[in-house]
Amino acid sequence: MKRIQEKRKHIRLRAYHLGKAKPPDSGKADSALYRVVAIQDLSAGGVRFKTSVPAEVSSVIDLKMIFPPLGKIVIASAKVAWIRKIERSSNYEVGAQFINIDKDTRKLIDENARLFASQPGQKRERVGH
């Protein structure tokens, strides 16, 4: 049996909280342009979330997310890697790769994901961002 090579680089941290995403190419810093998204998981390389507003693959979006270990809002830009329509729903699932995130924040996300994954009984997941 041929083994599938793992392509994922970063450990994924399950997340169940809200964030905000600004539609691509909106061009304004107006906070009214941000839409609420449901963060599903997070890694040092990117994020997966649910949204009611689809984005084009390869478009750049601005994100604001609460990351509890930091106790502050994480602000990042990310490139949409993929988007899927959720069956029997008007929502979409989006995977995005961080292209602009504070280096210390990226490191803290990675450290928390590794710590969580090393705890007994935790499923270790990796994400390819």
pLDDT tens readout for residues 29-44: 666 678 889 999 888 9
Q: Which CATH architecture has domain 10-120?
A: Beta Barrel (2.40)
Q: 100-118 burial by CB neighbour count: b if 16+ within 10 A, else e?
A: ebeeebbebbbebbeeeee
Output the pTM of the full model: 0.77
Average pLDDT of adjacent 10-residue blocks, the chain of 129 residues: 51 81 67 84 92 90 83 88 94 95 89 77 45
Q: What single letter denotes the amino acid at residue 29?
A: A
